[in-house]
Amino acid sequence: MTSVALLHRITDFANRPDPYPLYAELRRTPVVRDEAGPYLVSTYWEIRSLLHDPRISSDARNLTAEAARATGQDQDPDLPPNFLRLDPPEHDRLRRLAMAPFGPPDTPRRVYDMHGELTDVVAGLIDGCRGKEQIDLVDDISYPFPVTVICRLLGVPREDEKLFHEWADTIAAGPDPVVTDEEREAKLDSVRRARRELAGYLAGLIEERRRSPRDDMLSAMAAGHGADGRMSPVEAVTTSALLLVAGHETTVNLITNGMLTLLRNPDVLQRLRAEPDLAAPLVEELLRFEPPVQMLPQRTTLADIDIAGTIIPKGASVYLMLASGSRDPQRFTDADRFIPDRADNQHLGFGHGLHACFGAPLARLEAQLALTALVRRLDAPRLVEDPPPYRPNAVLRGPRHLPIAIGGIKG
């Protein structure tokens, strides 16, 4: 089986409900490729080493032209890359500026102090489900919760959330890694159009915050201070767009995948209901077992690298298959079993190294609060269909809808 044939199957929408047998097949050889395709790295220790390797670039401009075309990673000529798609030192400067209003060391209690507000948002969304015999977890809880939170953090007006929803769905939906040239170009065009519209909207908000600052992250990014200076207007736009999309898409999937897993494992659901302190290790196991980010397809080699006996040449495209690595039996005992209090759970769910997800503390807290509240307050929840319908994106994998029949709302 060639890597591209297997990648076709992994990204085939028909296999979205359960790609894990394909990952097991992929792990038989830690690094594989096809003549015209990317290198796929699928085993835990190899992925983790590359996440810390300075010879691996996140900047698609370092791809050879052939690799960029083959993998659909051509750059949008109208917008510069956000800091996730940059290398040091540009990455480090922009990440520090984005972190300043979000967490340590500048605002160490930002996420911690949101606990009460997040609890109230979840409670209000669940209260809104009263009188229903069936809910859609995505539309009713998993989507509006993190969207409300990230919009409040950044300072996006509530009345504009619907508009933002449409842009974010388009950006997060594609393109999938392997499609025909025509499909790839059509998807890239729609994604670029949504990015430009979102950028124009955010540019207007950021300019407002420059003139009239408020207590939100857009104002902090617009002002800027300290040794790293301030973001340029374009950097502020690309960074805020990244935070808006990345700040909710992964959390939507984490909460939805989490509830789906609990409903498939009713004994664990009952444990969480009786032991709320189980929420923290349980969310870590969800990040290993059903991660919202399945792979990182935007890595490039800056030099020839020997990985597990395979030479990946300079300028090649590399896909780090995070979900496969987190199910690697060479690293995790009973890797295909969901163990809510698993010990030594150093999963790859939030990545590692300098590109590790800096929104992880917020995502963890949102998932812990949402899942604990759901199992406590939903009466007799049960799946209406299994598997549920999934989103098209193979990278950000999660159900598009999760219909759940309930006996009512408690409390």
Q: Residues 318-367: pLDDT tens digits?
A: 999 999 999 999 999 999 999 999 999 999 999 999 999 988 999 999 99
Q: Which residues of 282-305 are buried (b: 16+ CB within 10 A; e: fewer)?
A: bbbbbbbbbbbbbbbbbbbbeeeb
Judge whether 302 and 55 are in contact, CB under 8 Å.
Answer: yes
Residues 192-233: pLDDT tens digits? 888 899 999 999 999 999 899 998 889 888 887 555 678 888
Residues 30-54: pLDDT tens digits? 999 865 578 999 999 999 999 999 9
Q: How many helices (H) and strands (E) does the chain have?
A: 16, 12
Helix orientation angle between 233-264 and 181-211, rounded to the nearest 10 degrees: 120
Q: Look up residue 117 and give its two tokens.
A: 């507000």
Task: Look at residue 117 and tell me whether its pLDDT is greater than 70.
Answer: yes
Alpha-carbon separation of residue 369 from 142, 199, 271, 283, 293 (angstroms):
12, 31, 15, 10, 20
Task: Identify the pLDDT of residue 168.
Answer: 80
| Strand 317-320 to 39-41 pairing | parallel
**Residues whose CB is less than 8 angstroms from the CB of residue 278 and which lie 6 or more positions away in sequence, other chains included:** 271, 272, 340, 341
Q: Which of 75-79, 152-156, 217-221, 282-286 has the lowest mean pLDDT?
A: 75-79
Judge whether 293 and 321 are in contact, CB under 8 Å.
Answer: no
Task: Identify the pLDDT of residue 100.
Answer: 81
**Residues whose CB is less than 8 angstroms from the CB of residue 408 and which lie 6 or more positions away in sequence, other chains included:** 130, 379
| Mean pLDDT of the chain, nearest integer | 89
Task: Identify the pLDDT of residue 67.
Answer: 59
Helix (H, G, I), strand (E, B) or coil at 287: helix
Higher per-residue confidence, 191 vs 316: 316
| Strand 305-307 to 31-32 pairing | unpaired
Give the C-alpha separation, 41 to 60, whole Å: 18
Residue 3: band (very low, low, confident or very high) from pLDDT cuts 50, 70, 90: low
Q: Give me the domains of the chain, ranges plus CATH numbers.
A: 3-335+364-409 (1.10.630.10)
Residue 1: band (very low, low, confident or very high) from pLDDT cuts 50, 70, 90: very low
What is the Cα Rg of the chain in Å?
A: 21
Task: Identify the pLDDT of residue 97.
Answer: 87
Q: Which of 3-7, 129-133, 249-253, 380-384 has the lowest mean pLDDT?
A: 3-7
